[in-house]
Chains A and B, each alone.
Chain A
């Protein structure tokens, strides 16, 4: 554990897993959507569902979806703020298979895009994004992360990794998932450096690449 995980983080209470972690899940989801959320269906599972209300998990998730960080003093008022901004929010419960006890399924819609993710709060304020659009993924939101949805064809992994090496971006971890051979596949790459914007644009235009999502640690949105 790092020093500032012990003295810190600065966060809105009461719980690092049920509040701060929930904000982070919402925040990462918002960034992955790549545009402001217009409507969100928030389905809580396990302990998020059972004790979420008392921990403000609902407000925390919505705050994150609005782009707030875990230390944002407006978190307790997020439901009202979302309502004022015309963001449609629906809450519900869900039973997820083999999910972490603190999990949520978020179904998001923006102006042009949709996104479905399962986020898990692992304790401390550490989170894991367990799936994106129904395909497995596993990343923490602590690194710049590139997510590429593509057709399961030879060559895509090489294209992505050689592009990154060309841009001097070091890969911290890499995972590959697919529905079935030749079907939809997803690559999740956590990187040590930020990926330049043009490189992401370049990827988007590759044949067989369906969707490129980039999660940047920069506060400013990298939207496409």
Chain B
């Protein structure tokens, strides 16, 4: 059985004297009947696949609709410029998030985390972290367990699909998962991890799913950037000692309630919001989709 609350994971960790990620590893071994080594190897495979997807980015690829492609390259070029407003780390995170989102739209191999639409958030943050902070790959894999544990709670107690909970459930969940992962990498304790996730999720509450043409392109790709950057600022707040005034599990429950209140037209049906703007409708006719 998956954990239904972050507090349950933390409680178990305290009881067992283990770290957050170890609790999730143990649970996976129990659930799928595998050894720790096998589970860890599988998670490493997921991370390797993320890195492959990142380095295989093809700037010339365009999606079938013609709406997506090439923006990752713009950020890559921008990152080379001096006098940028923001630093290298954050620019790189943005670049990688766009690249992954575009690769997904262009039918490249990606890792859904938690979904294909939100596949850019977690790798953008973790790959950049490994490259810039020179931590070991194993450490990043541990952080992926942290992300996975948060994601499981979100899936059990709220939602992780746009069709069920709106974009807060996709990009929002990915962002919360990534925030917890960085909090762990930055030395945060279990409580800090949970609050990083909560702070990230709070910033995403209410986000609707209104993709143009029902395709995972507009606004999805750029939302991966906002999810990734939001994960970083939220983890930094938590590391600095800031706590979510609303306890993490109550934030998750709010996401669930808001999701079920969202009308269907704002849950991946492409029937409202950005999807029905004149430009969106014009584009689709143009491409005869």
A→B interface (CB under 8 Å)? 1-16, 19-20, 47, 50-51, 53-56, 59, 71, 73, 75-76, 123-125
Contacts and interface: CB of A to CB of B under 8 A. Distances in A.
B105 A51 contact: no
Interface of B: 2, 24, 27-28, 31-32, 39, 42-43, 45-46, 49, 63-65, 103-117, 119, 122, 144-145, 147-149, 151-152, 155-156, 160-161, 163, 213-217, 270, 289
Contacts of A47: 214
B113 A12 contact: no
B115 A16 contact: yes
Contact of A3 (B49, B106, B115, B152): B152
Given A3-B28, A3-B148, A56 B107 contact: yes
Given A4-B42, A7-B148, A51-B215, A14 B63 contact: yes
B104 A6 contact: no
Nearest to B213: A54
Contacts of B270: 51
29 contacts: A1-B156, A1-B160, A3-B28, A3-B39, A3-B148, A3-B152, A4-B42, A6-B152, A7-B151, A8-B111, A8-B112, A9-B112, A10-B49, A10-B109, A10-B110, A11-B110, A12-B108, A12-B109, A13-B105, A13-B107, A13-B110, A13-B119, A14-B105, A14-B107, A47-B214, A50-B214, A56-B107, A73-B108, A123-B163
A195 to B, nearest CB: 20
B64 A54 contact: yes
A8 B113 contact: yes
Residue from A15, A20, A47 having most chain B Cβ neighbours under 10 A: A15
Contact of B24 (A3, A10, A20, A125): A3
Contacts of B161: 123-124
A9 B149 CA distance: 16
Contacts of A54: 63-65, 213-215, 289
Nearest to A2: B31
Contacts of B163: 123
B32 A9 contact: no
A127 B74 CA distance: 38
A7 B106 contact: no
A11 B27 CA distance: 24
Given A20-B116, A123-B161, A14 B214 contact: no
A5 B113 CA distance: 8
A15 B216 CA distance: 7
